[in-house]
């Protein structure tokens, strides 16, 4: 079982920036992508961004493309995936979840790729006007 610990959420004004981090350890991390998803109040969880295990391929939801950047780093004990969020909008508000074990290697994300993913507890991002 992969253990995921998210950090970096908070309150920010529209137009501002936040950086989310997710440290993943344990289980099988090799060869699977990691990513971020979010859930706004009253809505279903949605895809935000993901990155392949080697960091060579990424995909973004259209709503965040050009504003968010995902990256990954690895050491001997854990993988860390970071989501840099710029030009934040009110509609970016929600609980952001880190996921590992995503069956993505290149191209566009499809929901079946995260059916067996491991999930973090989530971190709240609130964008105010």
Q: Are 5 and 22 in contact (CB under 8 A)?
A: yes
pLDDT at 100 over 90: yes
| Under 8 Å between Cβ of 20 and 36 | yes
Q: What value does the mean pLDDT take over residues 40-63?
A: 95
Mean pLDDT, the chain, as a whole number?
A: 94
Q: Average pLDDT of 64-69?
A: 98
pLDDT at 82: 98
Instruction: Centre a 10 Å sphere on the Cβ of residue 97 and count the other Cβ atoms it contains.
Output: 22
């Amino acid at each position: 079982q992969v253990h995921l610990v998210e950090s970096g959420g908070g309150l920010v004004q529209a137009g501002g920036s936040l950086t989310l981090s997710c440290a993943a350890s344990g289980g099988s991390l090799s060869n699977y992508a990691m990513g971020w998803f979010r859930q706004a109040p009253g809505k279903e969880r949605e895809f935000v961004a993901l990155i392949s295990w080697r960091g060579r391929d990424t995909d973004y939801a259209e709503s965040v493309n050009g504003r968010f950047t995902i990256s990954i780093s690895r050491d001997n004990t854990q993988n860390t995936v970071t989501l840099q969020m710029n030009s934040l909008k009110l509609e970016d508000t929600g609980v952001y979840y880190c996921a590992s074990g995503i069956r993505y290697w290149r191209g566009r994300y499809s929901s079946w790729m995260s059916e067996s993913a491991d999930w973090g507890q989530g971190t709240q991002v609130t964008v105010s006007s």
